[in-house]
């Protein structure tokens, strides 16, 4: 007897809408109209005979039935994606597609990739940089390096690094006419900002300094640009240890103060669980783990941080 299945296109639309809790964002992802998403969801609900969403004035939530339905749908779509890769060879001529965000790629991954290529000349790495979280069921991506706290259901996730936050600057600033001997001296310098959850106000609070104006100074969404300005001597950055590791090692940056705060928002190797069975993914995973160990091992969160950070 044939298995009774709901309309699979509607199931795919449901998964996107449930993940975003938005018909509009699901429509953007699937490149269809919001009306088409609404139509597919209604068709699926009619087929199942249950309501999957509660449609409120300015919000969309899953019903209890929708919450129960979602994990099985996501698992099924992932199995279809895995089966497709296996059936079609899955390796795309030796290509390994890696997704990560731009500052990690520029400051850490790209300088090390030649070592991976030398060890595995049969694997061609395609590096995709993006701020969005890759969807392995829909995107042709083998592995991702994500920045966060972990906890991605249905995926293998391994913490690669510890993550410390501390000020860095060009050595030239330490030799300049304005002294930089104590955290309070930061009031005389340009503070460089990125959009990381930990900011200058947090670091200065732990340093015991209350009279530095942390609202001044340029701000960037790309941490790599903050490091670039610091290297050029245009200010002092509050840097993450992995992003500035090579510049510190090369002497392009120095740490004017010893105080470093350890947080649990860090870098993770992420992929579908069965992807680790594929030789090219396993090879990249082993290499990344070794390179990460050489950079620094994971550390526990700093107990001085409030719950919103650690």
The pLDDT tens digits for 10-20 are: 999 999 999 99
Q: Residue 107 has which token pair? A: 């400051």
> Strand, coil or helix: what is 271?
strand
Task: Return the CATH number at 105.
Answer: 3.40.190.10
**In angstroms, rounded to a whole number, what is the distance separating the alpha carbons of residues 13 and 70?**
11
Task: Return the CATH number at 64.
Answer: 1.10.10.10
Residues in Cβ contact with 234 at an 8 Å cutoff, skipping those fewer than 6 apart: 190, 192
Domain extent, residue 289, equals: 95-154+271-295
Inter-residue long-range contacts of 79-88, CB under 8 Å, 24+ positions, other chains counted: 80/137, 81/136, 81/137, 81/138, 81/272, 82/272, 82/274, 82/275, 85/278
Last residue of a domain, one of 53, 87, 121: 87
pLDDT digits (tens, 9 = 90+) for 54-85: 988 888 999 999 999 999 998 888 888 777 76
> Among candidates 240, 212, 210, which has minimal Cα distance to 226?
240
> Strand, coil or helix: what is 165?
strand
Same domain, 192 and 221: yes
> Strand, coil or helix: what is 249?
helix
Burial of 131 (0-12, 13-18, 19+ CB in 10 A): exposed
Query: Measured in Å, how far apart are the chain's first and last C-alpha atoms?
Result: 53
Same domain, 67 and 147: no
pLDDT digits (tens, 9 = 90+) for 228-240: 999 999 999 999 9
pLDDT at residue 86 in the model: 65
The pLDDT of 100-106, averaged and rounded, is 93
Classify residue 300: in a domain, yes or no. no
Same domain, 26 and 77: yes
Helix 23-30 vs helix 34-48: angle between axes, to the nearest 10 degrees? 110
Same domain, 82 and 129: no
């Amino acid at each position: 007897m044939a298995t009774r299945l709901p309309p699979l296109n509607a199931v795919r639309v449901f998964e996107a809408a449930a993940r975003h809790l938005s018909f509009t964002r699901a429509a953007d992802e699937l490149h269809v109209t919001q009306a088409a998403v609404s139509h597919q969801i209604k068709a699926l609900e009619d087929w199942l005979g249950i309501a999957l969403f509660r449609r409120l004035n300015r919000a969309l939530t899953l019903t209890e039935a929708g919450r129960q339905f979602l994990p099985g749908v996501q698992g099924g779509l992932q199995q279809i994606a895995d089966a497709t890769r296996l059936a079609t060879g899955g390796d795309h001529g030796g290509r390994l597609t890696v997704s990560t965000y731009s500052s990690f790629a520029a400051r850490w991954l790209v300088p090390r990739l030649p070592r991976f290529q030398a060890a595995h000349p049969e694997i061609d790495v395609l590096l995709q940089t993006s701020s969005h979280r890759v969807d392995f069921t829909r995107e042709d991506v083998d592995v991702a390096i994500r920045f966060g706290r972990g906890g991605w259901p249905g995926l293998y996730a391994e913490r690669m690094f510890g993550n410390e936050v501390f000020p860095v600057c060009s050595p030239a600033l330490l030799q300049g006419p304005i002294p930089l001997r104590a955290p309070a001296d930061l009031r005389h310098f340009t503070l460089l900002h990125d959009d990381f959850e930990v900011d200058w106000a947090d670091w200065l609070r732990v340093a015991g300094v209350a009279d530095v104006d942390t609202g001044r100074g340029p701000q960037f969404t790309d941490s790599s640009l903050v490091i670039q300005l610091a290297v050029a001597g245009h200010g002092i950055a509050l840097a993450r240890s992995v992003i500035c590791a090579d510049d510190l090692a090369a002497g392009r940056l120095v740490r004017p103060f010893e105080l470093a705060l350890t947080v649990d928002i860090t870098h993770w190797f992420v992929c579908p669980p069965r992807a680790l069975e594929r030789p090219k993914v396993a090879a990249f995973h082993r290499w990344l783990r070794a390179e990460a160990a050489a950079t620094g091992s994971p550390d526990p969160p700093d107990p001085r941080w409030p719950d919103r950070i650690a």
